[in-house]
Structure 1
Amino acid sequence: MTKLRLVSALLFTAAFSMASCSEASNRKTETGQSYETEPFSIETKGQFAEPWALALEPGSGRLFITERGGNIQFFDPSNNRLGSVEQGVPEVDYGGQGGLGDFAFAPDYEQTGLIYLSWAEAGDRDTRGAVVGRGKLVCEQPDSCAIDKLTVIWRQTPKVTGRGHYSHRIAFSPDGRYLFISSGERQKQEPAQDISNNLGTIVRLLPDGSPAPDNPFADKGGVSAQIWSYGHRNVLGLQFDSAGQLWDLEHGPAGGDELNLVQKGKNYGWPLVSGGDHYDGKPIPDPSTRPDLQKAAISWTPVIAPGDFIFYSGKLWRDWEGEALIANLKTKSISRISVQDPDNAKELARYSFDNRLRDIIETKDGSLWVIEDGEDGRLLHLTPAK
């Protein structure tokens, strides 16, 4: 993070702390103000350059925000202060959909200080691919942190040309034993059906990055031993529900965005079938033509272009317990989804916002934080409308 950006951020924080949040009007969106969109009261808490991921620090409640260009900032809701990770952030291959990606705290973070990051890494001959690294977060000053000994523990294989469909979302199993990573098919399509590579897959690893020993293709060795499921396109959401089931949220082509219950060894069909068609209009067989392939829990045409999602606890919006809340890019909205029937999920409501939404998290008190997409993406705090 440059000194100029840090100074600007700190000046914003000072201005915000003095701003009155009274007299809020519906849909008022100026930075530092409050507004409402049913059923939320919303406060803006800062602006960020192409933010990609939000992560909630255990214990402190600070929010860490990755910016695709290669910066990491954090916001402390207890005092409205901004800070940054000044050292140890990796060099990223920025461009297209690539750059700095996800941020996750290790299940034992409060004891070890370990964090996980994903990013796009350059390779030879104009190739690139996603990687995940692990290091220790050290915060010796209130407004400044560093990452110590960041080491790459996983790579997309092989690296290919282009700058799309990295996916690289990170999720830990509820028991903390396994690390799951979404690996996009990098807009190459066919590799998603070839388990000799890990493009178009969700991989299941031990926390050190080695393949989990009982993965479905462990007997094949090599990269195949990492794979948990395959036939995926571009997975930008990866979450466990309260029952310990893993779900993914992925982009279709021209139609066919999907929410999937992810199961061991299953084939999710891309590019053999889709709820949408190719961007040039060429048709793709409908999923109903291949009952041997895994069916989506819900599919969207027209697309919502989802960012990340959560399963909500029900603490503040009590009727939403166990439902999925999706931050949408294309529709500039939050979708609320019932997954009570995993084979037939239902969209119950869609709440409109002013801008594209990239990520969403829930904090300990049940309130929501959402980050917008784009060059001046705002951090929004959502509480129940009054």
Structure 2
Amino acid sequence: MALKTLDNTAITFKVDTIVSGMEIPWSMAFLPDNSMLITELKGDLIHFKNGIKTSIKNVPEVYFSGQGGLLDIELDPNYAKNGWLYLSYASNLENDGNGGNTTIMRAKLKDFALVETKVLYKATPNTKRGAHFGSRIEFDRDGYLYFSIGDRFNRDVLPQDITKDAGKIYRINSDGTIPINNPFYNTKNAKKAIFSYGHRNPQGMAMHPKTGEIWAHEHGPQGGDEINVIKAGKNYGWPKASFGINYNNTTFTDKTSIEGMEDPIHYWTPSIAPSGMAFVTSDKYPTWKGNVLVGSLKFQYLNRCVLENNKVIKEEKLLENIGRVRCVRQAPDGYIYVAVQNLGIVRLTPSS
């Protein structure tokens, strides 16, 4: 595939299918031995190496409903030394018959099975609403673990209330304890793990390679998908302020900005339904370095965003009509890998 970049520098690359036969590959992680772990929404964790797919045993039971299931996977920054990996998934640990909610756990991998499993966080209460679980996982340079939980389609109650889960981005230590310098740690009745609030459904999160800040994007309703730089204790406005409208074309707010709340650095109208997020730092794509890649579920392409002073100044559609792009990663080998529904994992391989 030959493309011209936005600065008119030609890039030629192949789209190689690395893993085929996947249904909804939600996320992927790359192990030190060049193998890959892939989450399938329905609850399977797949190990892939040298063309062989192996199902991992002892994966937690997921609440597979709507957008809920087995979601993100992330390796500990010190994985080579400690072997910890982290999963987000929808669960009903309480066995209360009331649906499920987002859960974060960690485990180690041994003989194609998860061992030493431990739930680090379980959002409450459960609900049978099948939408807006989030949930991406990311580490920062200090080793804090961030994860997102969507508003569980309870727009008017949860996102603005820091005493309740959902519609938030959280920060915990890698063992599940809560940092005492979290913004609401000493706030009465607050969920101490909350780092920011006023979010709708963040399904992309990545650490900026230069600043170390956590960036996230989230789904708007009809219009109003956002990219945000996540800051401690800040309110990102949902649903008080939004560039979107209801799905029936009515409005729920006349405000796109409110004093004291954080504005997005970028928004999409119409919605692209963003999922997955990665900064490009690899020398294999020299003219893309510093760009951020975002998958589009709705329009089925990979979106390349050119940044300048923390603003998106240009966009380019890559892999148009490939399918619903769920996740994008820059792997340790420097190549960009993309998870596509009803296809699998593809790699963008430059030919020159």
- Shared fold by TM > 0.5? yes
1:133 counterpart SS class? strand
In the alignment, residue 80 of structure 1 is paired with which amino acid? Answer: G
Give 2:28's aligned residue: 54
* 1:146 and 2:146 aligned: no
1:171 to 126, 138, 149: 138
Alpha-carbon deviation of 1:378? Answer: 1.9
Letter in 2 for 1:134: R
Question: Does residue 109 in structure 1 map to residue 79 in structure 2?
Answer: yes
When normalised by structure 1's length, the TM-score is: 0.83
Q: What is the 5 A alignment of 1:1-386?
A: 39-45=12-18, 46-57=20-31, 59-76=32-49, 79-85=50-56, 87-122=57-92, 123=94, 124-139=96-111, 145-176=112-143, 178-190=144-156, 191-220=158-187, 223-242=190-209, 243-342=211-310, 344-351=311-318, 352-373=320-341, 376-385=342-351
For normalisation by structure 2, the TM-score amounts to: 0.91
- Asked whether the 8 Å contact 2:243–2:256 carries over to 1, the reply is no
Q: CA deviation at 1:264?
A: 0.9
Work out the CA distance in 2 between the residues paired with 1:335 and 1:360: 10
Distance 2:46 2:328 in 1: 16
Matched-pair contact (CA < 8 Å) for 1:47–1:379: no
Which amino acid in structure 1 is aligned with residue 107 of structure 2? Answer: G
Please give the alpha-carbon distance, in whole angstroms, between the structure 2 residues aligned to 1:322 and 1:240: 12
Q: CA deviation at 1:339?
A: 3.0
Mark the CA change 1:292 to 1:221 in structure 2 (over 3 Å): closer, same or farther: closer
Structure 2 unpaired stretches of 5+: 3-10
Task: Tell me which protein shows more helix as a share of its residues.
Answer: 1
Deviation at 1:282, TM superposition (A): 1.8
**Partners in 2 of 1:340 and 1:357 — Cα distance?**
25
In 2 relative to 1, CA 110–289 (structure 1 residues): closer, same or farther, beyond 3 Å?
Answer: closer
- Deviation digits for residues 90-140 of structure 1 (CA, Å, limit 9, x no counterpart): 11111100111111111222122111111111252423101011111113x
Counterpart AA for 1:132: I
The 1:349/1:200 distance shift into structure 2, 3 A limit, reads same
Aligned length: 340
SS at 1:110 equivalent: helix
Q: Report the AA paired with residue 199 of structure 1.
A: A
Give structure 1 regions of 4+ aligned residues with deviation exceeding 4 angstroms: none
The one-letter code matched in structure 2 to 1:62 is S
Residues 257 and 263 of structure 2 are in contact (CA less than 8 Å); yes or no, is this contact kept in structure 1? no
Rate the CA distance shift 1:161–1:84 in 2: closer, same or farther, 3 A: closer
* Shift in alpha-carbon separation, 1:120–1:223, aligned structure 2, 3 A: farther
Displacement of 1:256: 0.6
Deviations 1:218-263 (A, max 9, x none): 1125552111100000000111011201100100000011111111
AA aligned to 1:84 is: S
Measure the CA separation in 2 of the matches of 1:253 and 1:348.
Answer: 21
In the alignment, the residues of structure 2 paired with residue 364 and residue 170 of structure 1 have an alpha-carbon distance, to the nearest angstrom, of 18
Distance 1:69 1:117 in 2: 14
Alpha-carbon distance in structure 1 between the residues aligned to 2:269 and 2:13: 26
Identity %: 33
Structure 2 Cα separation of the partners of residues 348 and 281 of structure 1:
27
